[in-house]
Amino acid sequence: MGSTLIEKIFAHNIGADSVKAGDIITVNVDRVMIHDIFIPFVKDKFEEMGFQKIWDPDRTVLIYDHLVPASQLDDPRHHHIGDEFCDKYGVRNVHRSDGICHQLMTEAGYVKPGDVAFGTDSHTVTYGCVGAFSTGIGYTEMASILGTGKLWVRVPETIRVNIKGTLPEGVTSKDVILTIIGDLRADGATYKSLEFTGSTVDAMSVASRMTMSNMTVECGAKCGLFSPDEKTAQYCGLTELDDFLKTLHGDDDAVYARVLNYRAEDFVPVMACPSQVDKIKPVSQVIAEASAMEEGSIVPSVGLIEDGTVRVDQVFIGSCTNGRLEDLEAAAAVLRGRQIAPFVKLIVTPASRKIYREALANGTLDILAGAGAMITTPGCGLCCGRTGGILTDNEVVVATNNRNFLGRMGTSKVNIYLASPVTAARCALAGKIVEG
C-alpha cells in the first residue's frame, strides 16, 4: 500500500517507516511564523506557560505585515511588544514592512520542501506550494511550540486533485482554485490535505502554485500540497532535490478520501460572488444575471446595476494570493497603454519588497501607474480591511485576494468579488464587471 504526499512528509519528520490518515503523531517543527496581530497574545501565553526560553530562536520568524503602516491607535502597541519579545528571547529573523508573511516565508528561504511549519494565520497553508506541510494555528499552540519545538497533529486524509491539459488564454491558477472551491464548497475538505497533480500543475510556476495552496483553507483544508520539482528547487535556492525530496509525491496506490479529475481546457474565468468564497460563478454568468435585472436596483449579492451591468467602484490587485510579480505583470499586460475608468480606484499592493523592486525594474509598475493605479507599500493592505481603500455601503470591489466575507473591506454592505489579476484589470478598464 502506497502513501500520500502528506503521509510521506510526516513519516520522514518523525523518523517512522510510514504513517496513515487518522494517526495521532507529535511532529518536530522546522519553522514557525508569528505575525504582528498575534504577537502580544503569543507572548502572554508563552510566559503564562512558564517557559524561560524559545526552543530555537533561529527557527522563529516575526513579520510585521498586517499592521503596517499603523492605521489604528492600538497598532503601535503590537509593534513595541513584538520588538521587546524578540530582544528578550533572541529572535533575529524579524521583517519590518518587507512584505506579507506568507510571501516572505518561502521567498526568504525560511521554508523548504519537506519541512513542517506552523504560523499564526490561516493562510499559512501557502507553503504547500514548495512541498512543505504548513498550516495555521492559534496563539496557545504557537506558545507551546516556542517552548518545546513540537506539536501533536492528526494525519489528515487526502483529496487528490488531478488536472490535465492546457489552460485557455486568460485563465489562471486563481480561476482553477476558485472553481475547485466551488465544487468542494466551504467545508468540503475540512481537515484534509489537498494534493495537486497532473500535467497542468506540472506546467505551473511556483507563484501560480502559491495561489492555489493559499486558498485551500477556504474549503476547510489543513494543507494544500504540490510535489517539489526542478522549479521548486530553483525557487528555494537548492542545487537539486535530494533523494528524499524526489520521493515526495502521492503514490497511485495510496488511500485517498476522494479523487477529483479536471480537464484544463474546461476552466473559464470565474468569480467568488458576495459574500461567500464558495459562491463561484463564471464571469459570463455574473454579467448575464446583471443584464436581466432592473436598472438601478441594488441586490446585496450583486451590487448596483446600471444599464444592465455591475458597476465597479474599486479594484484591488495584491495580497498573499495574487500579489506576486507574474500577477502584476498579467494586470499590466491588460492595462498597457490604456486608462482605467475615470471613477474607478485601482489599488496595487506588491506582496513583498523584492517583488516591488522587480516590478519597478522591469517597467511593470510604470505601466500600472500610467494606467491610473495607486501603488502602495508591500503588505497585507486592503485584504485584511485595515488600510488603503476601505469601501462603504453598496460599493463594489473586484479583488484578487482570498476572502470576500461581509465587512472585510469596509461596511457589511460592500460587495466583494474575488477574481484573477487578469479579470480584475479588465474590470478596472471597463468600470464594470466584464469577461474580456
| The predicted structure's pLDDT at residue 386 | 77
Q: pLDDT band for 297, please (50, 70, 90 cuts).
A: confident
Do the domains spanning 8-265 and 270-430 agree at the CATH topology level?
yes
- pLDDT of residue 300 exceeding 70, the answer is no
In the beta sheet, which residues pair with residue 393?
none
Please give the Cα distance from 136 to 283 (Å, whole number). 31
| The predicted structure's pLDDT at residue 378 | 95
| The predicted structure's pLDDT at residue 4 | 98
Give the position of cell 489528515.
156
Neighbours of 182 (CB within 10 A): 19
| The predicted structure's pLDDT at residue 385 | 86
Chain segment 19-56, per-residue pLDDT in tens: 999 999 999 999 999 999 999 999 999 999 999 999 99
Chain segment 313-324, per-residue pLDDT in tens: 999 999 999 999
Which phi and psi angles does 254 have, rounded to 5°? -75, 165
Dihedral, 102, 106, 107, 110 alpha carbons, nearest 10: 110
Contact present, 399 and 416 (Cβ < 8 Å): yes
H-run or E-run covering 86: helix 75-89
Mean pLDDT of 220-237: 98
Please give the Cα distance from 94 to 380 (Å, whole number). 17
Q: How much is the pTM? A: 0.96
Contact present, 64 and 77 (Cβ < 8 Å): no
CA nearest 321: which of 274, 368, 277, 361? Answer: 277
Q: pLDDT band for 301, please (50, 70, 90 cuts).
A: low
Instruction: State the CATH class of domain 270-430.
Output: alpha beta
Mean pLDDT of 352-373: 98
Mean pLDDT of 183-205: 98
| The predicted structure's pLDDT at residue 387 | 75
Of residues 307 and 407, more confidently modeled: 407
Spans of all domains in the chain: 8-265, 270-430
The dotted CATH code for 8-265 is: 3.30.499.10
Of residues 379 and 306, more confidently modeled: 379
